[in-house]
Homo-oligomer: A and B are copies of this chain.
Amino acid sequence: MTRKLIQAAAAGKKAKAATPNSRAGGDAAPLSNRATRAAERRAAIVEAAMEEFIARGFAATRLDDIAKRAGVAKGTIYLHFKDKESMFEELVRTVIVPVVARLNALPPPTGSVRDLIESFAGNFMKEVIGTRRGDLVRLIVAEGPRFPSVADFYYREVVSRGLAGMRALIDLGIARGEIRQKNLARYPQILIAPAMIAVIWQSLFQRHAPLDAQDMLRVHLDLIFGERRAT
Q: Which A residues fall within an 8 A CB radius of B?
A: 55-60, 138, 140-146, 151-152, 154-156, 159-160, 180-181, 183-184, 186-187, 189-190, 192-194, 196-197, 200-201, 203-205, 208-209, 211, 215-216, 219-220, 222-224, 227
Contact = CB atoms under 8 A, between A and B. Distances in A.
Contacts of A156: 208
Contacts of A224: 223
Nearest to A197: B193
Q: How many monomers of this protein are in the complex?
A: 2
A184 B141 contact: no
B184 A219 contact: yes
A55 to B, nearest CB: 8
A197 B200 contact: no
9 contacts: A58-B60, A59-B59, A138-B145, A152-B208, A155-B205, A181-B219, A181-B227, A189-B211, A190-B194
Contacts of A60: 58-59, 146
A184 B223 CA distance: 8
A222 B181 contact: yes
A87 B209 CA distance: 27
Contacts of A155: 204-205, 208-209
Contacts of A222: 181, 183
Q: In this complex, which of A192, A211, A216 has the most chain B Cβ atoms within 10 angstroms of its Cβ?
A: A216
B187 A219 contact: yes
B190 A220 contact: yes
Given A189-B211, A190-B220, A204 B59 contact: no
A220 to B, nearest CB: 5
A152 B224 CA distance: 33
Contacts of A197: 189-190, 192-193, 196
Given A58-B59, A151-B204, A189-B201, 20 more contacts: A57-B57, A57-B58, A57-B142, A144-B203, A145-B203, A151-B205, A155-B208, A160-B209, A180-B227, A181-B223, A183-B219, A186-B215, A189-B194, A189-B197, A189-B211, A190-B194, A190-B223, A193-B193, A193-B197, A223-B223
